[in-house]
Structure 1
Amino acid sequence: MGLEIVLNDITEGAKADVRRINEEAESASELIIGEARQASKEALGSRLAEVEEKLEQQRQQVLSSANLEVRRIALNKRKTLLDQVYDQALEQIKELPADKNEEYLKVLIEANEKDGHRIYSNKESEKIVKKLSSLEYGGNIDCIGGIVIESEDGTIRLDFTYDLIVKNTYDKSLKSISDILNG
C-alpha cells in the first residue's frame, strides 16, 4: 500500500498543479482579453474622434463656401439693382420735358459761362444753348444732355453733361447706397 499512497500523492499533486496552472492560465487569459478589449476601445475611440474632427472640418468648409456663395449672389443682386437704378435715372433724364431741360441748362450756363469761350451740347439742345449762352457754339457732342464749356485755347474743358453729373453723383453715393442695402 505504500506505493499506492505515493502514487496517489503524486497524482493529487499533479492534479493540484494542473488546477493551479489552469487557474493561472485562466487569470492571464482574462487579463490579456481585458487589455485587448481596452486597447480596442481606445483605438476605436481615437479613430471615432478623428472621423468626427474631419467631419466637423468638412462641415465648416461647406458652411464657409455656402456663406461666400450667398454673399456673392447678394452682391451680384445689389449690383444689378444699382445698375438698374442708374439706367433708370439716365432714361428719366433723356425724357426730360423741354421746359425742364431748358431750365437746367440755363442754371448750368449762368453758373459757368464766365469760365469759357466755347460751349458744346447735344444736337437736341443746340437751339436752346445758342439762345441761352453768349459763348461761341462749338458744336454737338455725344451725351444725353447738358453742356461742355471750353477755354479759348482749348486746354480747359468743363464737363457739365448730364451723363457725367449722374455718374459722379452715383460714384459719390455708391458707398452710402451700399450701406443702406446692406442694412
Structure 2
Amino acid sequence: MSLDTVVEDIREEAHARAEDIRETGETRAEEIESAAEADAEEIVAEAEAEADREIEQLREQRLSSAKLEAKQKRLEARRDVLGNVREEVEAELASLEDDTREELTRDLLDAASSEFDEDDDVSVYGRSDDRELIESILADYDGYEFAGEYDCLGGVVVESEQSRVRVNNTFDSVLEDVWEDNLREISTQLFDQ
C-alpha cells in the first residue's frame, strides 16, 4: 500500500464519517426542530385555552356584576314604591274625616285606658289639630285630661304618674305595627304579578 492509497482511504473514511455526522446532525436538528414546533404548538394551545378561560371568567364576573346591579336597582325601586305607598297611607290617616277620626281616636283611647287604674290621674297627648276632638272624648273619662301636643298623624299617647305606664296608641304606632306585620304581603301584592 502506498502512501497515496492510505491518504485516500483516510480521506474517504473521513468523508464517510463526516457524511454520517452530517446526516446524524441533520436528523438530530430535524428532531429538535420537530420537538420545538410541537412545544410551540402546545404553548400556543395552552395560551389560547388560558385566554379563553380568562375571557369566560371575565364574562361571568361582568354578568354577575350586572345581575347584582340590576337586583340592587330593583330593590331600590321597590323601596321607593313602598316608601311612596307608606307616605300615601300616612297622608290618608292625617286627613281622615271627623266621624272616622273620632271613632278611631275613641277606640285607641279605650284600648289604652285598660292599662290604668280607676283612680289614676291620666294625661293624654295628641295631634294639635285633634285637641278639641280629644277634649270632647275625654269628657267621658274621669281623671283624664288633655296634657299637650304630640307630633303624630292622630290617635293618643296616654300616661299616668301613679302607675308609671305610657301607652302610645297613635295612628303612627298602629301603622308601624301593621306595616311590619304585613310588609311581605304588601310587597307581594305590589310586585309579584
Shorter-chain TM-score range: 0.7 to 0.9
Number of residue pairs the alignment of both structures matches: 182
**Partner-residue secondary structure (3-state), 2:157:** strand
In the TM superposition, what whole-angstrom CA distance separates every residue of 1:79-114 from its partner, at most 9, and x where no partner exists?
A: 111111111100011111111111111222233334
Q: Distance in 1 between matches of 2:189 and 2:7?
A: 106
Counterpart residue identity of residue 138, structure 1: A
Q: How has the CA–CA distance of structure 1 residues 181 and 48 changed in structure 2, closer, same or farther, with 3 Å as cutoff?
A: farther
- Partner residue in 2 for 1:78: 78
Cα 1:151–1:87 change in 2 (3 A) is same
How far apart, CA to CA, are the structure 2 residues paired with 1:182 and 1:45? Answer: 50
Q: Which residue of 1 aligns with 2:119?
A: none
Match of 1:129 in 2: 134
The alpha carbon displacement at 1:74 in A equals 1.3
Aligned to 2:112: 112
Identity %: 30
Distance 2:102 2:41 in 1: 89
Counterparts in 2 of 1:61-100, with a 5 A limit?
Answer: 61-100=61-100
Tell me which residue corresponds to 1:139.
148
Change (3 A) 1:101 1:12: same
Q: TM-score, normalised by structure 1?
A: 0.80
Aligned twin of 1:26: 26
Distance in 2 (CA, whole Å) between partners of 1:152 and 1:86 is 34
Query: Unaligned stretches of 5+ in structure 2?
Result: 117-121
Deviation at residue 141 of structure 1 after TM alignment: 1.7
| Range with bigger deviation, 87-96 or 136-145 | 136-145
The answer to whether the 8 A contact 1:122-1:141 is kept is yes
Higher helix share: 1
Are 1:146 and 1:162, in contact at CA under 8 Å, matched by a contact in 2? yes
3-state SS in 2 of match to 1:115: coil
Write out per-residue CA displacement over residues 132-152 of structure 1, whole angstroms, 9 at most, x where no aligned residue.
221222222221211111124
After TM superposition, the score normalised by the length of structure 2 is: 0.77
Q: Aligned to 2:30, what secondary structure does the other structure show?
A: helix
Q: Return 5+ residue gaps in structure 1 as ranges.
A: none
Secondary structure of residue in 2 paired with 1:136: strand
Q: 1:3 to 1:136 in 2, by over 3 A?
A: closer
**2-side partners of 1:41 and 1:66: how far apart?**
37
Task: Give 4+ residue runs of structure 1 displaced > 3 Å after superposition.
Answer: 2-26, 175-183
State which of 147, 167, 178 in structure 2 corresponds to 1:169.
178
Q: CA RMSD in A?
A: 2.9
